[in-house]
Amino acid sequence: MASNQQGQTPIPSLFTRMETEITNYRARKIELSEGVFFSQYRTIQRIYKFKNRDLSGSKLNEDLSYNYYFDITAPRADSETKNLRFDTKHILVFSQNPRGDFPAVFISNAMIKKWMSENGEDDKLKASIEEFTANGNIGFKKVAGGYEAVDALNTSVTNQKAETVDDTDLIERHELTASQIMAMDGWDEGAKEETIKELGNKMFKATEYTTQVETTAKRYEVFEFTGEISEFEFNELSEGNEEGDKNKYILAKVIVAGLRSQGESGGTNKKYTLFAEELSGVMSDHYLYAHRGKYEGRFWRVGMYELLFDHQIRANEIGNQLARGLDWASKVVFKSSDSRVLQNIRADLDNGDVVIADDLDQVEVRMQGMDQLIADWNRLIADANSLSHSTEVVTGESLPSGTPFRLGALLDQNAGKMFVLLRQKITLPYRRVFKDWVLKDLLKDLKSKDIFNLTGDAEVVDQLRMIMVETWYIENLVAMGPHNKAVADAIKEEKMEELKQVDPTIENSKEIWEGVFKRLFITITGENSDMADNIQDIVNLLSLEKDPGRIAYLLDSIYKIRGIP
Protein backbone atom coordinates (compact mmCIF):
# COMPACT_ATOMS: atom_id res chain seq x y z
CA MET A 1 0.00 0.00 0.00
CA ALA A 2 1.16 3.48 -0.81
CA SER A 3 -0.46 6.89 -1.00
CA ASN A 4 0.18 10.57 -1.48
CA GLN A 5 -1.54 13.92 -1.20
CA GLN A 6 -2.48 16.46 -3.82
CA GLY A 7 -2.65 20.05 -2.57
CA GLN A 8 -1.83 22.52 -5.35
CA THR A 9 -0.07 19.86 -7.46
CA PRO A 10 -1.59 18.74 -10.78
CA ILE A 11 -4.64 16.53 -10.36
CA PRO A 12 -3.81 12.85 -11.04
CA SER A 13 -5.45 11.47 -14.16
CA LEU A 14 -7.40 8.82 -12.22
CA PHE A 15 -9.28 11.55 -10.31
CA THR A 16 -10.42 13.06 -13.62
CA ARG A 17 -11.29 9.63 -14.98
CA MET A 18 -13.38 8.78 -11.90
CA GLU A 19 -15.29 12.06 -12.14
CA THR A 20 -15.99 11.41 -15.82
CA GLU A 21 -17.15 7.83 -15.20
CA ILE A 22 -19.50 8.90 -12.39
CA THR A 23 -20.97 11.69 -14.54
CA ASN A 24 -21.47 9.34 -17.49
CA TYR A 25 -23.10 6.71 -15.27
CA ARG A 26 -25.64 9.22 -14.00
CA ALA A 27 -26.30 11.27 -17.13
CA ARG A 28 -25.99 8.94 -20.11
CA LYS A 29 -28.03 6.04 -21.44
CA ILE A 30 -26.64 3.04 -23.26
CA GLU A 31 -28.27 1.50 -26.33
CA LEU A 32 -29.00 -2.17 -25.64
CA SER A 33 -30.34 -2.78 -29.13
CA GLU A 34 -31.49 -0.55 -31.96
CA GLY A 35 -33.67 2.16 -30.42
CA VAL A 36 -33.71 0.54 -26.95
CA PHE A 37 -31.96 2.71 -24.36
CA PHE A 38 -31.23 1.97 -20.70
CA SER A 39 -29.80 3.80 -17.70
CA GLN A 40 -28.90 1.71 -14.66
CA TYR A 41 -28.75 4.82 -12.47
CA ARG A 42 -32.27 5.98 -13.42
CA THR A 43 -33.65 2.45 -13.11
CA ILE A 44 -32.33 2.09 -9.56
CA GLN A 45 -33.67 5.52 -8.60
CA ARG A 46 -37.07 4.52 -9.96
CA ILE A 47 -37.02 1.20 -8.09
CA TYR A 48 -36.51 3.01 -4.79
CA LYS A 49 -39.38 5.38 -5.57
CA PHE A 50 -41.63 2.34 -5.89
CA LYS A 51 -40.13 0.83 -2.73
CA ASN A 52 -40.95 4.01 -0.82
CA ARG A 53 -44.46 4.15 -2.37
CA ASP A 54 -43.99 7.69 -3.66
CA LEU A 55 -43.83 8.16 -7.43
CA SER A 56 -44.64 11.87 -7.69
CA GLY A 57 -43.22 13.35 -4.49
CA SER A 58 -46.67 14.42 -3.29
CA LYS A 59 -49.76 12.62 -2.03
CA LEU A 60 -52.07 15.39 -3.33
CA ASN A 61 -53.12 15.82 -6.94
CA GLU A 62 -53.57 19.19 -8.65
CA ASP A 63 -57.28 19.19 -7.71
CA LEU A 64 -56.28 18.49 -4.05
CA SER A 65 -57.68 14.95 -4.20
CA TYR A 66 -55.61 12.30 -2.39
CA ASN A 67 -53.33 10.13 -4.51
CA TYR A 68 -53.62 6.59 -3.13
CA TYR A 69 -50.87 4.00 -3.61
CA PHE A 70 -52.15 0.42 -3.94
CA ASP A 71 -49.01 -1.65 -3.38
CA ILE A 72 -49.25 -4.91 -5.34
CA THR A 73 -45.46 -5.43 -5.60
CA ALA A 74 -44.29 -5.66 -1.97
CA PRO A 75 -46.53 -8.66 -1.06
CA ARG A 76 -45.22 -10.59 -4.07
CA ALA A 77 -41.63 -9.71 -3.23
CA ASP A 78 -42.22 -10.82 0.37
CA SER A 79 -43.74 -14.08 -0.84
CA GLU A 80 -40.69 -14.85 -2.98
CA THR A 81 -38.36 -13.92 -0.11
CA LYS A 82 -40.23 -16.35 2.12
CA ASN A 83 -39.86 -19.16 -0.42
CA LEU A 84 -36.13 -18.48 -0.94
CA ARG A 85 -35.39 -18.44 2.78
CA PHE A 86 -32.15 -19.89 4.12
CA ASP A 87 -30.11 -18.95 7.15
CA THR A 88 -26.91 -19.83 8.99
CA LYS A 89 -27.99 -23.37 9.85
CA HIS A 90 -28.05 -24.25 6.14
CA ILE A 91 -24.39 -23.30 5.53
CA LEU A 92 -22.19 -26.38 5.93
CA VAL A 93 -18.64 -27.41 5.10
CA PHE A 94 -18.12 -30.82 3.49
CA SER A 95 -15.18 -32.65 1.92
CA GLN A 96 -14.53 -34.91 -1.05
CA ASN A 97 -12.77 -37.19 1.43
CA PRO A 98 -15.33 -37.31 4.27
CA ARG A 99 -13.60 -40.00 6.34
CA GLY A 100 -10.06 -38.70 6.12
CA ASP A 101 -11.05 -35.06 6.58
CA PHE A 102 -13.70 -35.63 9.26
CA PRO A 103 -11.80 -33.78 12.05
CA ALA A 104 -11.07 -30.79 9.82
CA VAL A 105 -14.65 -30.68 8.51
CA PHE A 106 -16.15 -30.94 11.99
CA ILE A 107 -13.94 -28.19 13.42
CA SER A 108 -14.49 -25.99 10.35
CA ASN A 109 -18.27 -26.28 10.70
CA ALA A 110 -18.07 -25.46 14.39
CA MET A 111 -15.83 -22.43 13.83
CA ILE A 112 -17.77 -21.07 10.86
CA LYS A 113 -21.01 -21.25 12.85
CA LYS A 114 -19.30 -19.44 15.71
CA TRP A 115 -18.05 -16.78 13.27
CA MET A 116 -21.54 -16.33 11.80
CA SER A 117 -23.05 -15.97 15.26
CA GLU A 118 -20.50 -13.34 16.30
CA ASN A 119 -20.89 -11.34 13.06
CA GLY A 120 -24.68 -11.24 12.84
CA GLU A 121 -24.85 -13.29 9.66
CA ASP A 122 -28.53 -14.15 10.12
CA ASP A 123 -29.55 -10.53 9.55
CA LYS A 124 -27.14 -10.12 6.63
CA LEU A 125 -28.44 -13.26 4.90
CA LYS A 126 -32.07 -12.17 5.21
CA ALA A 127 -31.28 -8.63 4.00
CA SER A 128 -29.41 -10.08 1.01
CA ILE A 129 -32.36 -12.27 -0.01
CA GLU A 130 -34.74 -9.32 0.29
CA GLU A 131 -32.55 -7.14 -1.94
CA PHE A 132 -31.95 -9.99 -4.40
CA THR A 133 -35.70 -10.44 -4.84
CA ALA A 134 -36.72 -6.78 -4.88
CA ASN A 135 -33.84 -5.29 -6.92
CA GLY A 136 -32.90 -8.40 -8.87
CA ASN A 137 -29.23 -7.95 -7.96
CA ILE A 138 -27.07 -8.16 -4.85
CA GLY A 139 -23.33 -7.55 -4.74
CA PHE A 140 -20.75 -8.75 -2.21
CA LYS A 141 -17.36 -7.17 -1.57
CA LYS A 142 -14.40 -8.84 0.08
CA VAL A 143 -13.21 -6.95 3.17
CA ALA A 144 -10.85 -7.74 6.02
CA GLY A 145 -12.41 -10.45 8.17
CA GLY A 146 -15.20 -11.39 5.76
CA TYR A 147 -17.46 -9.58 3.34
CA GLU A 148 -20.10 -6.85 3.11
CA ALA A 149 -22.98 -6.07 0.75
CA VAL A 150 -22.54 -3.48 -2.00
CA ASP A 151 -24.82 -0.42 -1.77
CA ALA A 152 -26.57 -0.20 -5.15
CA LEU A 153 -27.58 3.44 -4.58
CA ASN A 154 -23.97 4.53 -4.11
CA THR A 155 -22.17 2.34 -6.65
CA SER A 156 -21.34 3.38 -10.22
CA VAL A 157 -20.84 0.67 -12.86
CA THR A 158 -18.54 1.91 -15.62
CA ASN A 159 -19.69 -0.69 -18.18
CA GLN A 160 -23.47 -0.99 -17.95
CA LYS A 161 -23.49 -3.66 -20.69
CA ALA A 162 -21.17 -5.98 -18.73
CA GLU A 163 -22.37 -9.57 -18.39
CA THR A 164 -20.28 -10.28 -15.28
CA VAL A 165 -18.42 -8.18 -12.75
CA ASP A 166 -15.16 -9.16 -14.49
CA ASP A 167 -16.21 -6.97 -17.44
CA THR A 168 -16.49 -3.67 -15.55
CA ASP A 169 -14.91 -1.36 -12.99
CA LEU A 170 -16.80 -0.25 -9.87
CA ILE A 171 -16.77 3.10 -8.05
CA GLU A 172 -18.34 3.18 -4.58
CA ARG A 173 -19.25 6.30 -2.61
CA HIS A 174 -19.03 6.26 1.22
CA GLU A 175 -19.99 8.79 3.91
CA LEU A 176 -17.65 8.30 6.90
CA THR A 177 -17.14 9.98 10.25
CA ALA A 178 -13.71 11.09 11.47
CA SER A 179 -13.46 8.13 13.86
CA GLN A 180 -14.31 5.69 11.06
CA ILE A 181 -11.57 7.16 8.86
CA MET A 182 -8.97 6.97 11.65
CA ALA A 183 -9.95 3.35 12.38
CA MET A 184 -9.15 2.19 8.84
CA ASP A 185 -6.11 -0.07 8.82
CA GLY A 186 -3.69 0.32 5.93
CA TRP A 187 -4.82 3.82 4.99
CA ASP A 188 -2.14 6.51 4.80
CA GLU A 189 -1.96 8.23 8.19
CA GLY A 190 -0.96 11.62 6.82
CA ALA A 191 -3.73 11.57 4.21
CA LYS A 192 -6.27 10.60 6.87
CA GLU A 193 -5.29 13.53 9.07
CA GLU A 194 -5.36 16.00 6.17
CA THR A 195 -8.74 14.69 5.01
CA ILE A 196 -10.23 15.19 8.47
CA LYS A 197 -8.70 18.65 8.73
CA GLU A 198 -9.58 19.97 5.26
CA LEU A 199 -12.61 18.10 3.92
CA GLY A 200 -15.12 18.01 6.77
CA ASN A 201 -18.72 18.69 5.78
CA LYS A 202 -21.79 18.96 8.01
CA MET A 203 -24.16 18.57 5.06
CA PHE A 204 -25.01 14.85 4.94
CA LYS A 205 -26.57 13.27 1.83
CA ALA A 206 -27.85 9.70 1.55
CA THR A 207 -26.66 9.56 -2.06
CA GLU A 208 -24.68 11.97 -4.20
CA TYR A 209 -27.74 13.71 -5.65
CA THR A 210 -30.22 13.61 -2.76
CA THR A 211 -31.13 16.68 -0.70
CA GLN A 212 -28.54 17.79 1.84
CA VAL A 213 -29.37 17.50 5.54
CA GLU A 214 -27.34 19.49 8.03
CA THR A 215 -25.82 17.49 10.89
CA THR A 216 -24.03 18.51 14.08
CA ALA A 217 -21.01 16.30 13.30
CA LYS A 218 -18.77 16.43 10.26
CA ARG A 219 -18.89 13.71 7.65
CA TYR A 220 -16.41 12.90 4.93
CA GLU A 221 -17.15 11.77 1.39
CA VAL A 222 -14.82 9.01 0.18
CA PHE A 223 -14.78 7.25 -3.19
CA GLU A 224 -13.46 3.71 -3.69
CA PHE A 225 -12.37 2.67 -7.19
CA THR A 226 -11.77 -0.99 -8.00
CA GLY A 227 -10.79 -1.99 -11.51
CA GLU A 228 -8.12 -1.73 -14.16
CA ILE A 229 -5.77 1.26 -14.21
CA SER A 230 -2.58 1.83 -16.13
CA GLU A 231 0.82 1.45 -14.52
CA PHE A 232 1.30 5.19 -15.12
CA GLU A 233 -1.92 6.08 -13.24
CA PHE A 234 -0.99 3.81 -10.33
CA ASN A 235 2.51 5.27 -9.95
CA GLU A 236 1.11 8.79 -10.24
CA LEU A 237 -1.15 8.10 -7.26
CA SER A 238 1.01 5.91 -5.07
CA GLU A 239 4.48 7.33 -5.65
CA GLY A 240 3.73 10.82 -6.95
CA ASN A 241 5.78 10.38 -10.15
CA GLU A 242 4.88 10.16 -13.82
CA GLU A 243 6.81 6.99 -14.55
CA GLY A 244 5.24 3.80 -15.83
CA ASP A 245 3.74 2.39 -18.99
CA LYS A 246 0.43 4.01 -19.98
CA ASN A 247 -0.49 0.91 -21.98
CA LYS A 248 0.18 -1.65 -19.25
CA TYR A 249 -2.86 -2.24 -17.03
CA ILE A 250 -3.17 -3.74 -13.58
CA LEU A 251 -6.08 -4.50 -11.26
CA ALA A 252 -6.05 -2.09 -8.32
CA LYS A 253 -8.10 -0.65 -5.49
CA VAL A 254 -7.82 3.11 -4.94
CA ILE A 255 -9.60 5.10 -2.21
CA VAL A 256 -9.67 8.88 -2.52
CA ALA A 257 -11.17 11.90 -0.75
CA GLY A 258 -11.97 15.32 -2.18
CA LEU A 259 -13.10 14.05 -5.56
CA ARG A 260 -15.60 16.90 -5.89
CA SER A 261 -14.34 20.17 -7.33
CA GLN A 262 -14.53 23.64 -5.79
CA GLY A 263 -18.08 24.83 -5.15
CA GLU A 264 -19.76 21.41 -5.14
CA SER A 265 -21.08 20.43 -1.71
CA GLY A 266 -18.47 22.49 0.05
CA GLY A 267 -15.55 21.14 -1.94
CA THR A 268 -12.13 22.66 -1.22
CA ASN A 269 -10.37 21.52 -4.41
CA LYS A 270 -7.96 19.53 -2.21
CA LYS A 271 -7.67 15.87 -3.13
CA TYR A 272 -6.08 13.04 -1.17
CA THR A 273 -5.24 9.44 -1.95
CA LEU A 274 -6.02 7.46 1.18
CA PHE A 275 -5.20 4.01 -0.15
CA ALA A 276 -3.78 2.49 -3.33
CA GLU A 277 -2.97 -1.18 -3.75
CA GLU A 278 -2.45 -3.56 -6.65
CA LEU A 279 -4.82 -6.53 -6.50
CA SER A 280 -4.24 -10.09 -7.61
CA GLY A 281 -6.56 -12.14 -9.77
CA VAL A 282 -9.66 -10.71 -11.43
CA MET A 283 -12.59 -8.57 -10.27
CA SER A 284 -14.65 -11.63 -9.26
CA ASP A 285 -11.96 -12.48 -6.71
CA HIS A 286 -12.88 -9.27 -4.90
CA TYR A 287 -16.53 -8.64 -5.89
CA LEU A 288 -19.31 -11.14 -6.53
CA TYR A 289 -22.84 -10.50 -7.79
CA ALA A 290 -25.97 -12.63 -7.65
CA HIS A 291 -28.48 -11.83 -10.41
CA ARG A 292 -32.14 -12.85 -10.29
CA GLY A 293 -32.95 -12.42 -13.97
CA LYS A 294 -31.21 -13.57 -17.12
CA TYR A 295 -28.72 -11.44 -19.04
CA GLU A 296 -30.51 -9.19 -21.55
CA GLY A 297 -27.64 -6.99 -22.67
CA ARG A 298 -27.22 -5.10 -19.39
CA PHE A 299 -25.40 -5.69 -16.11
CA TRP A 300 -28.42 -4.75 -13.94
CA ARG A 301 -30.91 -7.64 -14.17
CA VAL A 302 -34.68 -7.34 -13.73
CA GLY A 303 -36.00 -7.78 -10.18
CA MET A 304 -39.52 -7.97 -8.78
CA TYR A 305 -40.06 -4.21 -8.62
CA GLU A 306 -38.88 -3.50 -12.16
CA LEU A 307 -40.83 -6.51 -13.43
CA LEU A 308 -44.07 -5.01 -12.08
CA PHE A 309 -43.47 -1.31 -12.88
CA ASP A 310 -46.35 -1.10 -15.37
CA HIS A 311 -48.66 -3.27 -13.27
CA GLN A 312 -48.09 -1.08 -10.22
CA ILE A 313 -48.80 2.13 -12.16
CA ARG A 314 -51.99 0.69 -13.66
CA ALA A 315 -53.09 -0.61 -10.25
CA ASN A 316 -52.75 2.91 -8.85
CA GLU A 317 -54.75 4.32 -11.78
CA ILE A 318 -57.60 1.83 -11.35
CA GLY A 319 -57.61 2.16 -7.57
CA ASN A 320 -57.73 5.95 -7.66
CA GLN A 321 -60.42 5.93 -10.39
CA LEU A 322 -62.55 3.66 -8.21
CA ALA A 323 -61.90 5.77 -5.11
CA ARG A 324 -62.90 9.02 -6.83
CA GLY A 325 -65.90 7.41 -8.53
CA LEU A 326 -67.19 5.87 -5.31
CA ASP A 327 -66.74 9.16 -3.49
CA TRP A 328 -68.98 10.84 -6.07
CA ALA A 329 -71.42 7.91 -6.17
CA SER A 330 -71.92 8.10 -2.39
CA LYS A 331 -73.62 11.50 -2.75
CA VAL A 332 -77.34 12.15 -3.37
CA VAL A 333 -78.09 14.86 -5.95
CA PHE A 334 -81.49 16.38 -6.71
CA LYS A 335 -82.66 18.63 -9.53
CA SER A 336 -85.63 21.01 -9.72
CA SER A 337 -86.65 24.11 -11.66
CA ASP A 338 -87.67 25.77 -8.38
CA SER A 339 -84.56 27.38 -6.88
CA ARG A 340 -86.27 27.76 -3.47
CA VAL A 341 -86.76 24.03 -3.23
CA LEU A 342 -83.07 23.41 -3.88
CA GLN A 343 -82.10 26.02 -1.27
CA ASN A 344 -84.28 24.48 1.45
CA ILE A 345 -84.18 20.79 0.59
CA ARG A 346 -81.23 19.97 2.90
CA ALA A 347 -82.98 21.58 5.90
CA ASP A 348 -86.26 19.87 5.02
CA LEU A 349 -84.60 16.48 4.78
CA ASP A 350 -82.74 16.98 8.07
CA ASN A 351 -85.93 18.11 9.83
CA GLY A 352 -88.03 15.34 8.37
CA ASP A 353 -90.35 17.73 6.55
CA VAL A 354 -92.28 16.83 3.43
CA VAL A 355 -90.72 18.36 0.35
CA ILE A 356 -93.39 19.75 -1.98
CA ALA A 357 -92.25 20.44 -5.53
CA ASP A 358 -93.59 20.02 -9.02
CA ASP A 359 -90.45 18.62 -10.64
CA LEU A 360 -88.08 17.33 -7.95
CA ASP A 361 -85.97 14.44 -9.33
CA GLN A 362 -82.90 12.55 -8.10
CA VAL A 363 -79.87 12.71 -10.39
CA GLU A 364 -78.25 9.38 -11.21
CA VAL A 365 -74.66 9.51 -9.91
CA ARG A 366 -73.83 5.81 -10.02
CA MET A 367 -70.30 5.29 -11.29
CA GLN A 368 -70.27 4.31 -14.95
CA GLY A 369 -67.94 1.55 -16.12
CA MET A 370 -67.29 0.26 -12.61
CA ASP A 371 -67.68 -3.37 -13.68
CA GLN A 372 -65.12 -2.87 -16.48
CA LEU A 373 -62.65 -1.34 -14.02
CA ILE A 374 -63.09 -4.28 -11.65
CA ALA A 375 -62.59 -6.73 -14.52
CA ASP A 376 -59.46 -4.83 -15.57
CA TRP A 377 -58.17 -4.97 -11.98
CA ASN A 378 -58.71 -8.74 -11.85
CA ARG A 379 -56.88 -9.22 -15.17
CA LEU A 380 -54.05 -7.03 -13.90
CA ILE A 381 -53.67 -9.02 -10.67
CA ALA A 382 -53.79 -12.33 -12.56
CA ASP A 383 -51.05 -11.16 -14.94
CA ALA A 384 -48.94 -9.85 -12.03
CA ASN A 385 -49.32 -13.21 -10.27
CA SER A 386 -48.24 -15.03 -13.43
CA LEU A 387 -45.14 -12.86 -13.93
CA SER A 388 -44.07 -13.06 -10.28
CA HIS A 389 -44.97 -16.75 -9.75
CA SER A 390 -47.35 -15.76 -6.94
CA THR A 391 -50.15 -18.30 -7.25
CA GLU A 392 -52.33 -19.31 -4.27
CA VAL A 393 -50.18 -22.32 -3.45
CA VAL A 394 -47.07 -20.10 -3.33
CA THR A 395 -48.53 -17.30 -1.21
CA GLY A 396 -50.14 -19.74 1.23
CA GLU A 397 -53.74 -18.86 0.36
CA SER A 398 -56.50 -21.46 0.30
CA LEU A 399 -56.89 -23.39 -2.93
CA PRO A 400 -60.32 -23.44 -4.58
CA SER A 401 -62.75 -25.72 -2.74
CA GLY A 402 -62.74 -29.27 -4.01
CA THR A 403 -59.06 -29.27 -5.01
CA PRO A 404 -57.71 -32.80 -4.31
CA PHE A 405 -54.88 -33.03 -1.76
CA ARG A 406 -52.60 -34.82 -4.24
CA LEU A 407 -53.21 -32.11 -6.87
CA GLY A 408 -52.36 -29.44 -4.29
CA ALA A 409 -49.12 -31.26 -3.49
CA LEU A 410 -48.22 -31.47 -7.19
CA LEU A 411 -48.93 -27.76 -7.67
CA ASP A 412 -46.74 -26.98 -4.67
CA GLN A 413 -43.93 -29.15 -6.02
CA ASN A 414 -44.11 -27.57 -9.48
CA ALA A 415 -44.19 -24.02 -8.06
CA GLY A 416 -41.21 -24.85 -5.90
CA LYS A 417 -39.02 -25.63 -8.93
CA MET A 418 -38.77 -21.93 -9.80
CA PHE A 419 -37.72 -21.09 -6.25
CA VAL A 420 -35.11 -23.86 -6.34
CA LEU A 421 -33.63 -22.16 -9.42
CA LEU A 422 -33.71 -18.69 -7.82
CA ARG A 423 -32.27 -20.05 -4.57
CA GLN A 424 -29.38 -21.53 -6.52
CA LYS A 425 -28.77 -18.18 -8.24
CA ILE A 426 -28.17 -16.46 -4.92
CA THR A 427 -26.51 -19.34 -3.07
CA LEU A 428 -23.91 -20.12 -5.75
CA PRO A 429 -22.17 -16.74 -5.25
CA TYR A 430 -22.64 -17.14 -1.49
CA ARG A 431 -20.79 -20.46 -1.64
CA ARG A 432 -17.78 -18.68 -3.16
CA VAL A 433 -18.08 -15.90 -0.59
CA PHE A 434 -17.91 -18.34 2.31
CA LYS A 435 -15.24 -20.62 0.86
CA ASP A 436 -12.83 -18.08 -0.63
CA TRP A 437 -13.38 -15.08 1.65
CA VAL A 438 -14.47 -16.54 4.99
CA LEU A 439 -13.34 -20.16 5.29
CA LYS A 440 -9.91 -19.48 3.79
CA ASP A 441 -9.09 -16.89 6.46
CA LEU A 442 -10.63 -19.03 9.21
CA LEU A 443 -8.42 -21.98 8.29
CA LYS A 444 -5.32 -19.81 8.59
CA ASP A 445 -6.31 -18.99 12.17
CA LEU A 446 -7.30 -22.58 12.97
CA LYS A 447 -3.92 -23.98 11.93
CA SER A 448 -2.15 -21.84 14.53
CA LYS A 449 -4.35 -22.82 17.49
CA ASP A 450 -3.46 -25.56 19.96
CA ILE A 451 -6.90 -26.09 21.54
CA PHE A 452 -10.42 -25.36 20.28
CA ASN A 453 -13.02 -24.37 22.84
CA LEU A 454 -16.39 -24.99 21.21
CA THR A 455 -19.28 -22.83 22.39
CA GLY A 456 -22.30 -21.27 20.74
CA ASP A 457 -24.11 -23.58 18.30
CA ALA A 458 -25.94 -26.18 20.39
CA GLU A 459 -26.25 -28.70 17.55
CA VAL A 460 -22.49 -28.74 16.88
CA VAL A 461 -21.66 -28.94 20.59
CA ASP A 462 -24.08 -31.84 21.11
CA GLN A 463 -22.58 -33.69 18.14
CA LEU A 464 -19.11 -33.29 19.59
CA ARG A 465 -20.26 -34.52 23.01
CA MET A 466 -21.83 -37.57 21.37
CA ILE A 467 -18.55 -38.34 19.57
CA MET A 468 -16.66 -37.93 22.85
CA VAL A 469 -19.10 -40.29 24.63
CA GLU A 470 -18.76 -42.97 21.94
CA THR A 471 -14.96 -42.67 21.95
CA TRP A 472 -14.83 -42.89 25.77
CA TYR A 473 -17.17 -45.91 25.75
CA ILE A 474 -15.06 -47.86 23.23
CA GLU A 475 -11.81 -47.07 25.08
CA ASN A 476 -13.26 -48.31 28.40
CA LEU A 477 -15.37 -51.18 27.09
CA VAL A 478 -13.04 -53.93 28.33
CA ALA A 479 -12.83 -52.46 31.83
CA MET A 480 -16.64 -52.31 32.12
CA GLY A 481 -17.14 -56.04 31.63
CA PRO A 482 -20.05 -57.79 29.93
CA HIS A 483 -23.36 -55.87 29.80
CA ASN A 484 -26.41 -55.55 27.58
CA LYS A 485 -27.59 -52.67 25.37
CA ALA A 486 -29.82 -51.15 28.04
CA VAL A 487 -26.88 -50.90 30.45
CA ALA A 488 -24.66 -49.48 27.67
CA ASP A 489 -27.25 -46.77 26.91
CA ALA A 490 -27.50 -45.89 30.59
CA ILE A 491 -23.69 -45.62 30.89
CA LYS A 492 -23.53 -43.36 27.82
CA GLU A 493 -26.37 -41.19 29.12
CA GLU A 494 -24.60 -40.75 32.45
CA LYS A 495 -21.36 -39.78 30.67
CA MET A 496 -23.26 -37.35 28.44
CA GLU A 497 -24.75 -35.59 31.49
CA GLU A 498 -21.24 -35.33 32.94
CA LEU A 499 -19.88 -33.73 29.75
CA LYS A 500 -22.75 -31.24 29.62
CA GLN A 501 -21.42 -29.58 32.75
CA VAL A 502 -18.41 -28.13 30.87
CA ASP A 503 -17.75 -26.70 27.40
CA PRO A 504 -16.05 -29.31 25.18
CA THR A 505 -12.53 -28.75 23.89
CA ILE A 506 -10.54 -30.30 21.03
CA GLU A 507 -6.78 -30.57 20.88
CA ASN A 508 -5.52 -29.38 17.51
CA SER A 509 -3.35 -31.51 15.26
CA LYS A 510 -1.42 -29.73 12.52
CA GLU A 511 -1.57 -32.75 10.22
CA ILE A 512 -5.34 -32.61 9.67
CA TRP A 513 -5.05 -29.23 7.90
CA GLU A 514 -2.41 -30.21 5.33
CA GLY A 515 -3.88 -29.71 1.84
CA VAL A 516 -7.42 -29.84 3.20
CA PHE A 517 -8.65 -26.52 1.76
CA LYS A 518 -8.59 -27.83 -1.83
CA ARG A 519 -10.93 -30.67 -0.81
CA LEU A 520 -13.36 -28.54 1.20
CA PHE A 521 -16.59 -27.19 -0.26
CA ILE A 522 -19.47 -25.09 1.03
CA THR A 523 -23.05 -26.28 0.64
CA ILE A 524 -26.10 -24.10 1.28
CA THR A 525 -29.63 -25.59 1.48
CA GLY A 526 -28.27 -28.94 0.38
CA GLU A 527 -26.94 -28.30 -3.14
CA ASN A 528 -24.96 -31.51 -2.73
CA SER A 529 -28.16 -33.49 -2.17
CA ASP A 530 -31.33 -33.89 -4.22
CA MET A 531 -33.53 -35.00 -1.32
CA ALA A 532 -35.68 -31.87 -1.48
CA ASP A 533 -36.52 -32.67 -5.11
CA ASN A 534 -37.74 -36.14 -4.11
CA ILE A 535 -40.40 -35.24 -1.54
CA GLN A 536 -43.20 -36.24 -3.93
CA ASP A 537 -41.55 -39.64 -4.48
CA ILE A 538 -41.35 -40.13 -0.71
CA VAL A 539 -45.03 -39.21 -0.35
CA ASN A 540 -45.93 -41.79 -3.02
CA LEU A 541 -43.88 -44.45 -1.23
CA LEU A 542 -45.65 -43.68 2.05
CA SER A 543 -49.00 -44.63 0.51
CA LEU A 544 -47.57 -48.04 -0.50
CA GLU A 545 -45.34 -48.85 2.48
CA LYS A 546 -46.71 -51.15 5.22
CA ASP A 547 -43.67 -51.55 7.51
CA PRO A 548 -44.09 -49.14 10.50
CA GLY A 549 -40.33 -48.76 10.83
CA ARG A 550 -39.85 -47.75 7.21
CA ILE A 551 -42.87 -45.42 7.38
CA ALA A 552 -41.29 -43.69 10.39
CA TYR A 553 -37.98 -43.37 8.50
CA LEU A 554 -39.69 -41.82 5.45
CA LEU A 555 -41.60 -39.37 7.64
CA ASP A 556 -38.38 -38.39 9.41
CA SER A 557 -36.80 -37.74 6.00
CA ILE A 558 -39.62 -35.36 5.04
CA TYR A 559 -39.43 -33.60 8.41
CA LYS A 560 -35.68 -33.14 8.01
CA ILE A 561 -36.02 -31.72 4.48
CA ARG A 562 -38.72 -29.28 5.59
CA GLY A 563 -36.86 -28.32 8.76
CA ILE A 564 -39.62 -29.64 11.05
CA PRO A 565 -38.25 -30.63 14.50
Position 4 scores a pLDDT of 55
pLDDT at 5 over 60: no
What pLDDT is attached to residue 318? Answer: 95
Euclidean distance between CA atoms 541 and 94, whole angstroms: 30
> DSSP readout, 248-316?
-EEEEEEEEE--SPTTSTT--S-EEEEEEEE--S-GGGTEEEEESS--SSSSS---HHHHTHHHHHHHH
Q: Report residue 264's pLDDT band, with 50, 70 and 90 as the boundaries.
A: very low
Interval 4-8 mean pLDDT: 52
Please tell me the distance from the alpha carbon of residue 516 to that of residue 97, in angstroms, as a whole number.
Answer: 9
3-state secondary structure of 76: helix
- Other C-beta atoms lying within 10 Å of the C-beta of residue 469: 18
Query: pLDDT (tens digit, 9 = 90+) per residue, 525-547?
Result: 655 445 555 666 777 777 777 88
The predicted structure's pLDDT at residue 532: 52
In the predicted structure, residue 166 carries a pLDDT above the cut 70: yes
Other CB atoms within 10 A of residue 525 CB: 19
Cβ-in-10-Å burial (0-12, 13-18, 19+) of 158 comes to buried
**pLDDT recorded at residue 206:** 65
Phi, psi values for residue 515, rounded to 5° = 65, 15
Between CA 403 and CA 115 the distance in angstroms is 47
36-48 residue pLDDT tens? 999 999 999 999 9
Output the pTM of the full model: 0.80
Q: Does pLDDT of 415 surpass 50?
A: yes
pLDDT attached to residue 250: 95
- Domain ranges in the chain are 5-39+160-301, 309-384, 455-507, 530-565
Interval 466-503: pLDDT, tens: 877 888 888 888 888 888 888 888 888 888 888 777 76
The answer to whether residues 141 and 150 touch, using CB atoms and an 8 Å cutoff, is yes
Residue 18: band (very low, low, confident or very high) from pLDDT cuts 50, 70, 90 = very high
Average pLDDT over residues 297-310: 96
Residue 540 or residue 261, greater confidence? 540
Share of the chain above pLDDT 90, in %: 41
Distance CA(514)–CA(117), nearest Å, equals: 27
pLDDT tens, 71-125?
999 999 999 998 888 888 888 888 888 777 877 888 888 888 888 888 888 899 9
Q: Are 68 and 489 in contact (CB under 8 A)?
A: no
**Cα–Cα dist 124/232, whole Å:** 39
* Per-residue model confidence as pLDDT tens digits over 318-367: 999 998 888 887 777 777 777 777 667 777 767 777 677 777 777 777 78
pLDDT at 283 over 50: yes
Q: Which residue has the higher pLDDT, 7 or 525?
A: 525
The residues with which 176 forms a beta bridge, in sequence order, are 220
What does the alpha-carbon distance between residue 277 and residue 288 come to, in Å, rounded to a whole number? 19
Q: What percent of the chain is predicted at pLDDT more than 70?
A: 84
* Closest to 86 measured CA to CA, from 136, 44, 124, 140: 124
Could you count the other beta carbons within 10 Å of the beta carbon of residue 80?
A: 25
Q: Which residues are CB-contacts of 492 (< 8 A; sequence separation ≥ 6)?
A: 469, 470, 473
235-253: pLDDT as tens digits: 988 777 778 888 999 999 9
The conformation of residue 60, written as its DSSP 8-state character, comes to B
What pairing do the DSSP bridges indicate for beta strands 30-33 and 451-453?
unpaired
pLDDT digits (tens, 9 = 90+) for 371-412: 899 999 999 999 999 899 887 767 767 666 666 666 666 777
